[in-house]
Amino acid sequence: QSVLTQPPSASGTPGQRVTISCSGSSSNIGSNTVNWYQQLPGTAPKLLIYSNNQRPSGVPDRFSGSKSGTSASLAISGLQSEDEADYYCAAWDDSLNGLNYVFGTGTKVTVL
Amino acid sequence: QVQLQESGPGLVKPSQTLSLTCTVSGGSISSGGYYWSWIRQHPGKGLEWIGYIYYSGSTYYNPSLKSRVTISVDTSKNQFSLKLSSVTAADTAVYYCARGVEQQLVYFDYWGQGTLVTVSS
């Protein structure tokens, strides 16, 4: 069971803005940076956002990330059909058991 | 452009050891600065980090899998490997190898295509 909680689904029409939330705790998001990954159907995850709000080279600027307290968000502005995918947040979690890289429960984005 | 490719048996019997290898091209494992990792995804489910190895050989594992996991590196072949012992059906998953890069903290910027491993008799 993941320690980072995301809504199971989100949707929008082309051109709309979609926001995905990621809720954690003080041991993960509250004290560490957040990354976001996009997984297109049948493919490996791809890094979308790192260090809360940084985009790797080649990622369109309509993808943006933010963090506040123990929560983070991914926004997709100007939604396109090729954005239909699963999105996962991730962060390092420093618990009593040790350090662990944890992923969110995932959000399936549908373009209507 | 760095590329990673997983290889290994697609079927493993319960109680046996799962063994996978990741071959890295487009960059040298021994150049340093990266954390070579394994991540898995159970069918239809989310992602689970297994562990990573630095080119020097130092490792760090997911605490929940630590007792069964060994990750090793062969810099001469530009490969790193995963061994997961005493497998059960719960270890059936797509296994990905990935490159971890550190900026503030480690994140994973290049991934292999993944390989499905089924645990069944």
Residues in A touching B67 (Cβ below 8 Å) = none
Select from B46, B62, B109 the Cβ nearest to the Cβ of A47.
Answer: B109
A40 touches chain B (CB under 8 A): no
> What local confidence, expressed as pLDDT, does residue A35 receive?
97
Q: Report pLDDT digits (tens) over A48-96.
A: 999 999 999 999 999 999 999 999 999 999 999 999 999 999 999 998 8
- For A51: left if phi > 0, alpha if psi spans -120 to 50, otherwise beta; the answer is left
Closest Cα in chain B to A33: B105
Coil, helix or strand at residue B90:
helix
Residue type at position A39: Q
B54 touches chain A (CB under 8 A): no
> What local confidence, expressed as pLDDT, does residue B33 receive?
86
The answer to whether the Cβ–Cβ distance between A45 and B47 falls below 8 Å is yes
Comparing CA positions, the residue from A110, A104, A112, A107 lying closest to residue A34 is: A104
| Ordered DSSP codes for B27-71 | S-GGG-SEEEEEEEE-TTS-EEEEEEEETTS-EEE-TTTTTTEEE
Q: Report pLDDT digits (tens) over A30-51.
A: 999 999 999 999 999 999 999 9
User: Which residues on neighbouring strands pair with residue B70, listed in sequence order?
Assistant: B83
Select from A50, A51, A105 the Cβ nearest to the Cβ of B46.
Answer: A105
